[in-house]
Chains A and B, each alone.
Chain A
Amino acid sequence: AQTVTQSQPEMSVQEAETVTLSCTYDTSESDYYLFWYKQPPSRQMILVIRQEAYKQQNATENRFSVNFQKAAKSFSLKISDSQLGDAAMYFCAYALSGYALNFGKGTSLLVTP
Chain B
Amino acid sequence: NAGVTQTPKFQVLKTGQSMTLQCAQDMNHEYMSWYRQDPGMGLRLIHYSVGAGITDQGEVPNGYNVSRSTTEDFPLRLLSAAPSQTSVYFCASSYQGTIYNSPLHFGNGTRLTVT
Interface residues of A (CB under 8 A from B): 1, 4, 9, 33, 35, 42-45, 47, 50, 52, 91, 95, 97-106
Q: Is the CB of B42 within 8 A of A104?
A: yes
In the assembly, what is the distance between CA of A104 and CA of B88, in Å? 16
* Range class of the B interface residue count: 20 to 34
- A44 with B106, Cβ < 8 A, contacts A91-B42, A99-B33 known: yes
In the assembly, what is the distance between CA of A106 and CA of B103, in Å? 19
CB<8 Å pairs between A and B, sample of 21: A1-B59, A33-B98, A35-B103, A43-B88, A44-B108, A45-B90, A45-B104, A52-B100, A91-B42, A95-B99, A95-B100, A98-B94, A98-B98, A98-B99, A98-B102, A99-B94, A100-B58, A101-B99, A103-B35, A103-B44, A106-B42
With a CB–CB cut-off of 8 A, which chain B residues contact A43?
88, 108-109
- A99 with B31, Cβ < 8 A, contacts A45-B106, A106-B42 known: yes
Interface residues of B (CB under 8 A from A): 31, 33, 35, 40-45, 48, 50, 58-59, 88, 90, 92, 94, 96-100, 102-104, 106, 108-109
In the assembly, what is the distance between CA of A4 and CA of B44, in Å? 12
Q: Is the CB of A98 within 8 A of B96?
A: yes
> Looking across the interface, which residue of chain A has its beta carbon closest to that of B104?
A101
Q: Is the CB of A101 within 8 A of B109?
A: no
With a CB–CB cut-off of 8 A, which chain A residues contact B92?
45
Q: Is the CB of A103 within 8 A of B42?
A: yes
In the assembly, what is the distance between CA of A23 and CA of B41, in Å? 15
